[in-house]
Amino acid sequence: MARNTPLKIVAACGLGTGTALFLKMTIDDILKKANVDAIVETADASIAQAVSADIVVTAQDLVELVRRNPRVKEIVEITNYGNLPEIREKLLDAVKRLEQS
């Protein structure tokens, strides 16, 4: 099923600054190459707990905080912000699950 609106994706880290921005740029690149329409924003841990998003991409230490948020449809848990293959695989898997729902 094709989406009529772009996905809303949040890149979250503890402070929502450098690491989240790096992750956002990585996500933007992955989605552009995969031809996925999305709006990608950054957030810190406190905002990630309250944000409304299709996907939140974050590290293991923040997953439990995000999991408590019922307005997040998919959580992509990454173990290494620099591991592009891991981020690509997990992110695109989450996108596929949303497209199938």
How many domains does the chain contain in total? 1
What's the distance, Cα to Cα, between the start and end of the chain in Å?
Answer: 8
Q: Between these two residues, 18 and 74, which has the higher pLDDT value?
A: 74
Residue-wise pLDDT tens digits, 50-101: 999 999 999 999 999 999 999 999 999 999 989 999 999 999 999 999 999 8
98 in a structural domain: no
Evaluate if residue 3 carries a pLDDT over 80.
Answer: no
2 in a structural domain: no
24 in a structural domain: yes
Please report which confidence band the pLDDT of residue 16 belongs to, taking 50, 70 and 90 as the band edges: low
51 in a structural domain: yes
* Whole-number Cα distances in Å, 38 to 12, 13, 14: 16, 19, 23
pLDDT at position 9 is 98
63 in a structural domain: yes
32 in a structural domain: yes
101 in a structural domain: no
State how far the Cα of 80 lies from the Cα of 84, in Å rounded to an integer.
9
97 in a structural domain: no
Instruction: State the CATH number of the domain containing residue 71.
Output: 3.40.50.2300
* Domain extent at residue 26: 7-90
68-74 contacts, C-beta under 8 A, 24 or more apart: 73/98, 73/101, 74/98
